[in-house]
Amino acid sequence: MSKTMKGPALFLAQFVSDDAPFNSLPNIVKWAASLGYKGVQIPSWDSRLMDLAKAAESKDYCDELRGICAEHGVEITELSTHAQGQLMAVHPAYDEAMDMLAPVALRGNPKARTEWANDQMRLAAKASRNLGLDGSVSFTGSLAFPFLYPWPQRPAGLIEEAFAELARRWRPVLDVYEELGVDVGYELHPGEDVFDGATFERFLEALDDHPRCQINYDPSHFVLQQLDYLDFIDIYHDRISAFHVKDAEFNPTGRQGVYSGYAGWTDRAGRFRSLGDGQVDFRGVFSRLATHGYDRWAVLEWECCLKHPEDGAAEGVPFINDHIIRVTDKAFDDFAGGESDQGQIRRMLGLS
């Protein structure tokens, strides 16, 4: 049976604000629908859009959220737990920077912050099930990222223990997702311990191939790492459960490359761009995903160092629509075919 991905959808995290129409779920969904979006990915930590604890507790409340979206012809694609997942594991070097993702009362208390993140992840699993969702998207967090570059020499076992601890933290949470039938699609992202295929394999091995450990595929991060993002799909397609449609460009110079000399986003060699303004081969991406039967959502994650977000959002709808491949259930040369039998096959091979 042919499988065609769904879309276009929009990740709302970069658009939520205190200003209308971005200040409530009814308002922002109406705005997204007016642009032509068919789905929205909701940041579960933002109380302006939803009450996560209530969603985990109440099916009626989740039906209300779904109804608000359905009123405008839009579906909820996934819940995002990027903020909470990030806080599942934080190296002390990042404690103060990451505190901004936690409730004010927990800042300066790493242990309480981690416990909060753990509880939030479990609530998101229950809320996803109450919303009728089979998948979610998140980050893994990081204990090892400060040791990304192998200088000074890392002591033997350092990286192995980091991934073992990461798995110890995540396994009980993923078990809850398994019980509820919900995937966690991790966005492979610099700043997380799991940022490419090799680190995903480390994580998956430490989790004994946990079935709910999946991938939120985002080619933009791979452009910035100079990783073959099309080959990645061929290798890991069985684990791709979500798709962020995001563009990027990499323009190295004699002064900077992948690390970009601590420059801000506008001046980096690697920059996120609005769809069509970067270097991602989206024809190739959509073709590879279609080849492997990806049939979940294509979700625009807008991040651009130059273009206004509302312009990027508006341009995203026709771009994604133009790239989604309606997968055929016929072969192009069926007209020249016909029924066959074993006798015909043997005759054609000269084996009468």
Q: Cβ distance 39 to 79 under 8 Å?
A: no
pLDDT at 284: 98
Residue 248 lies in a domain: yes
| φ, ψ at 264 (rounded to 5°) | -70, 175
CATH number of the structural domain spanning residue 315: 3.20.20.150
Work out the mean pLDDT of the chain and round it to a whole number: 97
Q: Cβ distance 243 to 5 under 8 Å?
A: yes
- Which of 119-123, 147-151, 185-189, 339-343 has the lowest average pLDDT? 339-343
Query: Which of 144, 98, 148 is closest to 258 using CA atoms?
Result: 148
- At residue 293 the predicted structure's pLDDT band, cuts being 50, 70 and 90, is very high
Residue 56 lies in a domain: yes
Query: Which of 247, 218, 234, 228 is closest to 293 using CA atoms?
Result: 234
Alpha-carbon span 23 to 237, nearest angstrom: 36
Task: Using the predicted structure, report yes or no on whether residue 327 has a pLDDT greater than 90.
Answer: yes
Share of the chain above pLDDT 90, in %: 95
Task: Using the predicted structure, report yes or no on whether residue 8 has a pLDDT greater than 70.
Answer: yes
> For 30-62, what is each residue's pLDDT tens digit?
999 999 999 999 999 999 999 999 999 999 999
> For 115-126, what is each residue's pLDDT tens digit?
999 999 999 999
Q: Cβ distance 251 to 278 under 8 Å?
A: no
Q: How many domains does the chain have?
A: 1
Alpha-carbon span 288 to 294, nearest angstrom: 9
Task: Using the predicted structure, report yes or no on whether residue 92 has a pLDDT greater than 80.
Answer: yes
Task: Using the predicted structure, report yes or no on whether residue 1 has a pLDDT greater than 60.
Answer: no
Residue 1 lies in a domain: no
Task: Using the predicted structure, report yes or no on whether residue 334 has a pLDDT greater than 80.
Answer: no
Question: Which pTM value belongs to this model?
Answer: 0.96
pLDDT at 65: 98
Task: Using the predicted structure, report yes or no on whether residue 101 has a pLDDT greater than 80.
Answer: yes
Alpha-carbon span 137 to 241, nearest angstrom: 9
- At residue 181 the predicted structure's pLDDT band, cuts being 50, 70 and 90, is very high
Task: Using the predicted structure, report yes or no on whether residue 15 has a pLDDT greater than 60.
Answer: yes
What range defines the domain where residue 128 resides?
Answer: 6-348
pLDDT at 2: 67
Q: What is the mean pLDDT of residues 270-296?
A: 98
More confident residue, 94 or 352: 94
Handedness of CA 86, 91, 96, 102 (dihedral sign): positive
| Tokens linked to 156 | 């033997």
What three-state secondary structure class fits 79? strand
pLDDT at 339: 81
Task: Using the predicted structure, report yes or no on whether residue 165 has a pLDDT greater than 90.
Answer: yes
Q: What is the mean pLDDT of residues 260-264?
A: 96
Residue 137 lies in a domain: yes
Q: Cβ distance 102 to 131 under 8 Å?
A: no
> DSSP state, 88?
T
Task: Using the predicted structure, report yes or no on whether residue 247 has a pLDDT greater than 60.
Answer: yes
